[in-house]
Chain A
Amino acid sequence: GAGVSQSPRYKVAKRGQDVALRCDPISGHVSLFWYQQALGQGPEFLTYFQNEAQLDKSGLPSDRFFAERPEGSVSTLKIQRTQQEDSAVYLCASSPQGIRQFFGPGTRLTVL
């Protein structure tokens, strides 16, 4: 079956623009996670959904970051008024009930 997919794979934005990053999890996976990976760093947790409920958003760096998963499947991470420090790879992972997480290929965001 298909793994986790993310789109777009690459996004270039001008500073101040809004962007939306999409994640399609593995079908049937209850849990969905977003991580941010800056250059030379490990992934850092942003937010977590269980079905449509956002249970943990403690990692979102500012109120410019917003995530949703309205029907408990596809998720969108939105970043408003992008800044240069937002440049990173954004990873989505999904998991059936349990611990193991399956990662998508990531979206590389570059803010100019």
Chain B
Amino acid sequence: AQRVTQPEKLLSVFKGAPVELKCNYSYSGSPELFWYVQYSRQRLQLLLRHISRESIKGFTADLNKGETSFHLKKPFAQEEDSAMYYCALSGNQGGSEKLVFGKGTKLTVNP
């Protein structure tokens, strides 16, 4: 079964501190992993995907197949990073590109 686990419902850090949002997944094949972000009163938007191996707004995420993890990291958090973060996977099973989401982590960056 496909499953995404985000163990932290809430995460609070101070501005300038490193931040890591954890994500573990369960999938039998080779999934695509994503991080989506939802800022206050905005729609859900893609932050980054593992296949792109890019850094967006200073965030990076590395897919660790051995640990089935896709943790999101940023070395120096900013107040504007405060938002809900969702980890998601897509297995493209049966031709459906549906996303399976975790429950989300609310990140608060304090001044």
Contact = CB atoms under 8 A, between A and B. Distances in A.
Interface of A: 3, 31, 33, 35, 40-45, 48, 50, 55-56, 59, 91, 95, 98-101, 103-106
Contacts of B45: 103
Nearest to A103: B44
B49 interface: yes
14 contacts: A33-B98, A33-B99, A42-B6, A42-B86, A42-B101, A42-B104, A43-B86, A44-B101, A45-B98, A48-B96, A48-B97, A56-B95, A95-B97, A99-B32
Interface of B: 4, 6, 32, 43-46, 49, 86, 88, 90, 92, 94-104
A7 to B, nearest CB: 14
Nearest to A46: B98
Contacts of A105: 43
Nearest to B96: A56
Contacts of A101: 46, 97, 99
Contact of A45 (B49, B94, B99, B102): B99
Nearest to B90: A99
B86, B97, B103, B104: residue with the most chain A Cβ atoms closer than 10 Å: B97
Contacts of B43: 3, 103-106
A109 B65 CA distance: 38
A65 to B, nearest CB: 15
Nearest to B93: A56
A31 B102 CA distance: 22
Contact of A42 (B32, B49, B90, B102): B102
B92, B95, B99: residue with the most chain A Cβ atoms closer than 10 Å: B99
A43 B90 contact: no
B46 A91 contact: no
